Amino acid sequence: MPSRRSMIGGLGGLMAGLMMPAPLVARAPTRPPRLRPGDVVGLIEPASFSDDLLQLEGVKAVVAGMGLVPRLGRHVATRYGYLAGTDEQRAADINAMFGDSAVRAIFAVNGGWGSARLLPHLDWDRIRANPKLLIGFSDVTALHLAFAARAGFPTLHAPNAANGWYETSWDSFWRLAFAGEAPLFQPPETLGPDVEGADGSPRVATIRPGTARGRLIGGNLSVLATLVGTPWLPDFEGAILFLEDVNEAEYRIDRMLNQLALAGVLGKVAGVIFGQCTRCASRLPGYIGFTVPQLLDQYIRPLGVPAFRGANIGHIADQLCLPVGAEVEMDGRGSIRVLEPITA
């Protein structure tokens, strides 16, 4: 089997070149199969379209560089307005991948907008009967949350197939998906150059000290907030909530955190991990409003639960892969420990 280091090097070279819900059913937790070199994996577009065939060839090459065999969904490269096909077409690709016994895992090609529109069209009985890793982030958060509510097995908040797969992303993905480990993730010592405001200061800042255990649930704050009040949001009682976002003004972060507070979501959690809010800081001269760290102090600190901000999660070049729906332990100093393997 290729080493992790050799795969990282190969991926670096490749990247340089490039609506009614199903009823809830009580069931024992299941685990998706572990990935092995040579496994077939599906490529889907649950949200925005990509009609650049050269880019898609690059995506396939990246997946092949992981030692996997990419298989395009039938409607990948289809366009319907700003979406990659109609809701029924995009959902059909997901249903088909979960029904195909040859496919071991499923990558979203990209995010954008549109994943939440699929939720009523997914075959939840088929999905529950065929656990497979669903991999992606950003708008794919809608799928992660719905799977956490209804599928009964973990998914992976990780780069989309069209994004960069650098060392931290690949290493954490390999440990979770290929090796079947239950890893401890420690925060990098300093901010990376792609993180807004990077100046060599510590990446992680404690909001509240302490240790907490719970089911890891979260993703993109904007997407999560839009699912409040719908049947697709999982129960956050005792959960470890993780959040990230991109291109959102501070007042919109304020509004969304307030929505989670008023809806009772924040009051249920056992711990909070806030990743990167990329391009969220106002650049207006003389700006005197709240900053994102100040908003986190206002909304998260009063919860009295362990919390930290600055995790390498979100719209950054080398993000950490995290298992949505898995049991984890976190502490306010920035560590995240997965408590049991997510693949079988």
Q: Which residues are catalytic?
A: 138, 244, 315
**Region class of 238: left (phi > 0), else alpha (psi between -120 and 50), else beta:** left
**Extended strands (E) in the chain:** 40-44, 69-72, 103-108, 133-136, 155-157, 184-185, 205-208, 211-220, 240-246, 271-278, 307-309, 322-324, 327-331, 336-338
Q: Which long-range contacts (CB under 8 A, 24 or more apart) does 191-199 make?
A: 191/310, 192/312, 192/316, 192/317, 192/318, 194/316, 194/317, 194/318, 195/276, 195/278, 195/312, 195/316, 196/276, 196/277, 196/278, 196/279, 196/280, 196/281, 197/281
What SS3 class is residue 202? strand
CA 207 from chain center: how many Å?
Answer: 22
107 close to 89: Cβ distance less than 8 angstroms:
no
Contact 34, 175 (CB under 8 A): no
How does 110-133 read in b/e, with b if 16+ C-beta sit within 10 Å? bbbebbbbbbbbbbbeebbebbbb
Structure tokens at 21: 């819900």
| Dihedral sign, Cα of residue 10, residue 15, residue 17, residue 18 | positive
Residue type, 41: V
**C-alpha separations of 93 from 50, 81, 108, 305 in Å:** 15, 18, 11, 40
Alpha helices in 246-337 (DSSP H): 250-262, 292-299
Strand partners, 133: 105
